[in-house]
């Protein structure tokens, strides 16, 4: 049984939940996303320092909105060197708002603008890394330091990235509202892609000492749940949520006692979260019959097939291979081909899988990726070429930035070397 959350953790969870509501209310009131977002961050920091010791206010959202509003007003009054900006914001702000309100009295946070913020942070003018960073800060309530640590970059670098993203939003003049129907589909694709990237980075970190960053995956699931509540009829939103739930269900078995990586085939499936699996499969079952099947639904279906097998030998690889074939038609790419190669190997033999891997060596996006070498090593091991497999595992270990993956790959190479010498 897990321990009860600490007071600090409860406060942190509450602040993440309230952050997008407070920011939305503030932007509606003052109209400047950049200034308002900075003010909300300052209010969140003040709350994180005060609430664990002094207690959570009766109206925590109102407290945050009041403090953040005061910060905005201070900036309006204090930035004398930016008179034009000051006048623009001041003119858009009712005179009554320039007077500080007592904390805990503002009900505006009852309105949830999280979806509007998600779409705003995924503006087409922003790069994918900028969309991810801005979403985590503005909608997820994470600090710049937390985001920088998760993506293994200096805090100053992440601060610059977020600042540039906010300047781009400001210069675009985009209104604080849901995009028009003509633009909504394109922007929704970007929103889903950002949430997918955040979840994947949390589930398997691209670098650093830890295999996972659970706070990122948890935040991606939370935001996707929220998006699904607001867009319940969108099948790809439902598909992405199902994919996250079915994948995250395996997290308890992915690492050993020392944090070491445990491959899917070797995991203790009794540790998998059956509640998440049941929720994910039920959601997928309601979604698949409703219309055109997209890539997130197909990936969720693949995850469901894995999760439904009570032991690795019971995995329906033929069904998985068929699903990867559909996925390659809907969303072709080297990662999909790489995964399909494993399914081909499990259905038609390792030699057939290796033939498919040979085709990927000419793809510049994958030719030097550690996962290509790790997959090749696995298939060579299955075919009995222990020497070649050990070499491929070592090459994969040299190319990954993840310390747990490097240790795992190096250990497999050493084990095969020992077996090869003993043969």
pLDDT of the chain along its 423 residues, tens only?
344 456 677 888 788 888 888 898 888 888 788 888 889 989 988 998 899 888 899 899 889 999 999 888 887 776 654 555 555 555 555 544 444 444 444 445 456 677 788 888 888 888 888 888 888 888 877 778 878 876 767 889 999 999 999 889 888 888 777 777 777 777 888 899 889 988 988 888 777 777 777 888 888 898 899 899 988 989 999 999 999 999 999 999 999 988 899 999 999 999 999 999 999 999 999 998 876 789 999 999 999 999 999 999 999 999 999 999 999 999 999 999 999 999 999 999 999 999 999 988 888 878 788 999 999 999 999 999 999 999 999 999 999 988 899 999 999 999 998 876 655
User: Which of 238, 248, 34 is closest to 137 using CA atoms?
Assistant: 34
How far apart, in whole angstroms, are the C-alpha atoms of residue 290 and residue 284?
10
Residue pointed to by tokens 């049984």: 1
Continuous H helices in 79-180: 83-92, 114-121, 128-138, 144-150, 155-172
Count the helix, strand and coil residues of the chain and give each as a percent rounded to the nearest 5.
75, 0, 25
User: Which of 316, 244, 231, 317 is closest to 279 using CA atoms?
Assistant: 244
User: Which of 408, 343, 417, 355 is closest to 381 using CA atoms?
Assistant: 417
The two most distant CA atoms of the chain are separated, in Å, by 85
CB 31 within 8 A of CB 176: yes
Element housing 240 (H / E) = helix 235-248
Residue pointed to by tokens 């050493």: 414
CB 47 within 8 A of CB 60: yes
How far apart, in whole angstroms, are the C-alpha atoms of residue 321 and residue 353?
11
How far apart, in whole angstroms, are the C-alpha atoms of residue 235 and residue 298?
11
User: Two tokens at 161?
Assistant: 């990235």
- The DSSP output letter for 80 is G
């Amino acid at each position: 049984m897990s321990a009860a959350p600490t007071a600090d953790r409860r406060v942190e969870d509450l602040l993440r939940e309230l952050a997008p509501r407070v920011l939305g209310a503030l932007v509606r009131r003052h109209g400047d996303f950049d200034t308002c977002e900075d003010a909300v961050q300052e209010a969140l920091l003040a709350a994180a320092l005060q609430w664990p010791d002094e207690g959570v206010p009766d109206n925590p959202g109102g407290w945050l909105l009041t403090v953040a509003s005061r910060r905005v007003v201070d900036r309006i009054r204090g930035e004398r060197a930016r008179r034009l900006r000051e006048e623009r914001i001041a003119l858009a702000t009712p005179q009554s708002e320039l007077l500080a309100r007592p904390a805990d009295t503002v009900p505006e946070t009852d309105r949830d603008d999280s979806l509007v913020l998600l779409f705003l942070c995924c503006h087409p003018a922003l790069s994918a890394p900028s969309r991810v960073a801005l979403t985590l800060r503005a909608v997820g309530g994470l600090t710049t330091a937390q985001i920088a640590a998760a993506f293994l970059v200096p805090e100053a670098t992440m601060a610059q990235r977020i600042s540039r993203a906010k300047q781009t939003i400001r210069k675009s003049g985009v209104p604080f509202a849901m995009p028009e129907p003509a633009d909504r589909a394109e922007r929704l694709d970007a929103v889903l892609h950002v949430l997918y990237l955040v979840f994947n980075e949390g589930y398997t970190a691209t670098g650093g000492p830890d295999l996972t960053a659970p706070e990122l995956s948890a935040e991606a699931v939370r935001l996707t749940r929220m998006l699904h509540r607001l867009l319940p009829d969108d099948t790809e939103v439902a598909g992405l949520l199902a994919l996250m739930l079915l994948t995250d269900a395996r997290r308890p078995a992915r690492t050993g006692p020392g944090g070491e990586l445990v491959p899917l085939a070797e995991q203790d499936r009794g540790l998998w979260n059956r509640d998440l699996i049941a929720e994910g499969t039920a959601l997928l079952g309601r979604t698949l019959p409703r219309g055109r099947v997209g890539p997130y639904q197909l990936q969720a279906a693949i995850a469901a097939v894995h999760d439904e097998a009570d032991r690795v030998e019971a995995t329906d690889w033929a069904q998985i291979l068929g699903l990867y074939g559909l996925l390659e038609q809907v969303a072709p790419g080297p990662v999909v081909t790489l995964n399909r190669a494993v399914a081909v190997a499990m259905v038609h033999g390792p030699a057939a899988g290796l033939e498919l891997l040979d085709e990927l060596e000419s793809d510049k996006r994958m030719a030097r990726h550690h996962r290509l070498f790790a997959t090749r090593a696995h298939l060579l091991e299955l075919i009995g070429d222990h020497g070649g497999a050990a070499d491929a595992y070592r090459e994969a270990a040299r190319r990954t930035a993840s310390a747990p993956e490097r240790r795992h790959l190096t250990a497999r190479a050493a084990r095969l070397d020992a077996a090869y010498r003993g043969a």
